[in-house]
A and B are shown apart, each in its own frame.
Chain A
């Protein structure tokens, strides 16, 4: 906050003062998620060393358990960076798992995958169109869609789980390994890598950030902000539908409950990762660490023997603490 005056008076800030000014302003708050991750990790590593926290299997488990949240949160990063919100991702994942399972048992693997993606395409397009063309706040649109998607999923299955007996599908989407690496880890790595590059290194990414930062200025600069808003919600829907298929593959069935409540974990991961809730700034790598931190906490608390009610309390407290530390002054 003090920097205003500095930057205006110092056309050529001389030597040492400039360096000091520079580092003094290097904002540790931006890195709080990484610091928090290391601290929590170290804490559990010491506290839970006898419960096998550091065993390779447990560490891989953390990745496996957070994979779907990570994937959903990558899409959510775009939505939030664009100053919108998508509450329908969890139930979109559920609907996608159900549709994939049903189409797969009828017509085979390719139609199954296409059916899942179609769910994301339809949900995302409807969300996007209502928000960008009709100007309805995304909070309301996607809150409605949350109910619609989960309702449809329950309806068409009559609340019954839809088993998936296709081993190829299950292997690719979550159950299997690519070589020595668990498939879910590869999926999250691919989504994070693409998401990070597109957000920070492409024209589209810049336009998403500009639209989220100041929509009027973006409009005046010739950015089609309606299209950008549509696109981020479409991406979020599509990504959520892939997450639904990852649930389906890992749990070898489609169920309307898959993904229930994931929207809140994903939003928490995105905000923990340093993306501004008000739009304009976002980091996909931060989001990955946000999701991993949540997974780490879940895993550690289970190993520590807390029951699920206690876990919820501690998890909530840690998330509030982290966001409080990361907030702008």
Chain B
């Protein structure tokens, strides 16, 4: 039986992570409503496992539960994301980030971010947005650190290319 104190502790501790969980859920290819449902299921699972949580890396722990729930749903739908989805043609060599001041409209960034394959969205969200370390992200994604790094780098480059591809609206300031 869970004591009231433990329940309050869970609520107090987890409340600060709700926005993170929701944003990460949104990077997993689900709608806003589905993201809320996914967060709720994550909370149920986390609450059930709260007594066994060792207190370290709360954010990583919660996101891993979230991801596992999403993966279970994907498996049941037979639609797992795959690294083979990578459109390599979008990548290029040569100077890449130079001389560009990226003043991007938030809405456009989100649209293009959503268009990336989920594995790249997630890598960017975890590290660039939620500021997890590579080690934490690797733990969440259950992949080696090198895989996290390659997904992150490739994701950034794909996003950069797509945003620049909308050149009619992208504001670039050459210094």
Genuine A/B complex: no
